[in-house]
């Protein structure tokens, strides 16, 4: 095909103006979800609208550039574009899931590794969408609080997963359950679950992740409201704080995990605690057989670019601030590690600013920041994971992400006992 069409052409400003479609924000998501499900039944859910958009871009290209592109040729080329990605859908999948607040796909990587098929994903950040598409072939849908996004969620799927942001609940602790969650992003999770319940196609498993502080937020009322709300919707719920350092990741990263399963199924669930954990029990040995103890050196690359070495001025500032904090008795300051260190502190979305939470010691030089690839390694992303964005955006994305091996270890137990 001489005249090729790219998914990115749906962002063409002239094309958007030519079409005049009021709701254009999810066009790329519709087309990529359609193409990515081309060989299974989920395709039908997106087919009518996707065909409309593809025909519109073909007509536009032919008219604007005096070409003679055929619809079938365009469809096949676009299909090739979304399928030639590092992490395609498993051919023989055993369950379907939706990926909310998807970020850059940490949940998706883990669940695909265990035989899952993602049928819908949403993420509002445009830079995260770019990274997601480069690795999975799909552009996520946008703002999940809008009906124009929710309407695209297929009726049938087994698992709802996501690391939802935690805003304060306006009336948390008043035991209003579902009503207490209004105005928060958790409400939209609940709304999606409730809609499936009402049409007789309940979600089998709810799998959520959040910061450790959720446990004690508003004196525990926020988590209490979340659990009570899921109970109202018919789910048994288990929660646990797990640490990435116990799952083959050299990072001290504690996060709370929430798992809900239908009461009517009369099944049980138990969290894995990981290796080297005081809470680990005998049954975990089999499920964690592929997880090994690690040190910081295991995630470092050889010969990193000198640009990651921090300047004398920045290093002096780090030292001064650490001294000031120490004198105040609060213990804060930059954290430096070497390849033999067992684990780093928690990487966060602000890492791009100065790298102070994790600096790598160097011989005869100032310490350095992690490279974006090392930041990905520190969260358990594989070496072939594509990083198509700037360093600053990459640091934000990996800092906001889940640790993939932790998600996979937990879901391995979910799949084994619940699905």
Strand partners, 239: 258
| Contact (Cβ atoms closer than 8 angstroms) between residue 43 and residue 37 | yes
In this structure, how many other beta carbons lie within 10 angstroms of the beta carbon of residue 152?
A: 16
Categorise residue 173: left if φ over 0, alpha if ψ from -120 to 50, beta otherwise: left
* Rounded-to-integer distance, Cα 262 and Cα 268, Å: 10
Query: Which among 126, 90, 123 has a CA at the least distance from the CA of 106?
Result: 123
Cβ neighbors of 247 (< 8 A, separation 6 or more) are: 274, 275, 288, 291, 380, 403, 405, 406, 409
Contact in structure between 101 and 164 (CB atoms under 8 Å): yes
Spatial contact of 391 and 372, defined as CB atoms under 8 Å apart: yes
Q: Are 387 and 127 in contact (CB under 8 A)?
A: no
* Residue 409 · residue 274 · CB < 8 Å: yes
Active-site residue, selected from the candidate residues 166, 233, 296, 410: 166
Alpha carbon distance 116, 282 (integer Å): 27
95 vs 183: CA distance, rounded Å? 31
118 catalytic residue (yes or no): no
Active site residues per annotation: 166
């Amino acid at each position: 095909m001489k005249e090729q069409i790219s998914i990115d052409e749906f962002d063409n400003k002239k094309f958007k103006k030519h079409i005049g479609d009021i709701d254009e924000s999810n066009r790329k998501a519709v087309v990529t979800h359609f193409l990515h499900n081309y060989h299974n039944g989920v395709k039908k859910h997106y087919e009518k609208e996707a065909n409309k958009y593809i025909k519109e871009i073909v007509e536009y290209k032919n008219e604007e550039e005096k070409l003679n592109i055929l619809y079938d040729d365009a469809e096949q080329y676009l299909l090739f574009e979304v399928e030639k990605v590092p992490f395609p859908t498993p051919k023989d999948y055993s369950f379907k899931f939706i990926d909310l607040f998807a970020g850059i796909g940490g949940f998706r990587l883990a669940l695909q590794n265990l035989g899952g098929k993602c049928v819908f994903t949403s993420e509002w950040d445009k830079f995260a969408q770019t990274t997601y598409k480069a690795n999975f072939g799909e552009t996520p849908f946008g703002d999940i609080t809008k009906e124009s996004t929710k309407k695209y969620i297929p009726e049938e799927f087994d698992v709802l997963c996501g690391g939802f942001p935690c805003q304060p609940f306006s009336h948390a602790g008043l035991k209003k359950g579902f009503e207490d969650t209004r105005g928060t992003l958790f409400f939209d999770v609940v709304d999606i679950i409730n809609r499936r319940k009402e049409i007789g196609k309940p979600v089998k498993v709810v799998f959520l992740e959040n910061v450790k502080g959720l446990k004690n937020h508003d004196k525990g009322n926020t988590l209490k409201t979340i659990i009570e709300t899921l109970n109202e919707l018919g789910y048994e719920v288990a929660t646990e704080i797990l640490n990435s350092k116990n799952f083959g990741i050299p990072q001290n990263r504690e996060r709370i995990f929430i798992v809900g399963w239908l009461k009517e199924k009369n099944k049980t669930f138990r969290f894995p605690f990981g290796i080297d954990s005081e809470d680990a029990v005998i049954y975990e040995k089999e499920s964690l057989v592929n997880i090994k103890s690690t040190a910081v050196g295991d995630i470092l690359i050889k010969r990193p670019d000198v640009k990651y070495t921090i300047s004398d001025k920045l290093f002096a500032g780090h030292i001064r601030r650490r001294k000031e904090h120490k004198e105040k008795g609060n213990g804060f300051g930059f954290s430096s590690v070497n390849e033999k260190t067992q684990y780093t502190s928690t990487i966060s979305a602000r890492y791009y600013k100065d790298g102070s939470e994790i600096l790598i010691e160097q011989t005869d030089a100032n310490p350095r920041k992690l490279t974006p690839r090392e930041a990905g390694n520190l969260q358990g992303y594989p070496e072939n994971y594509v990083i198509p964005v700037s360093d600053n955006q990459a640091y934000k994305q990996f800092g906001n992400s889940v640790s993939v091996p932790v998600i996979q270890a937990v879901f391995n137990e979910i799949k084994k006992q619940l699905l």
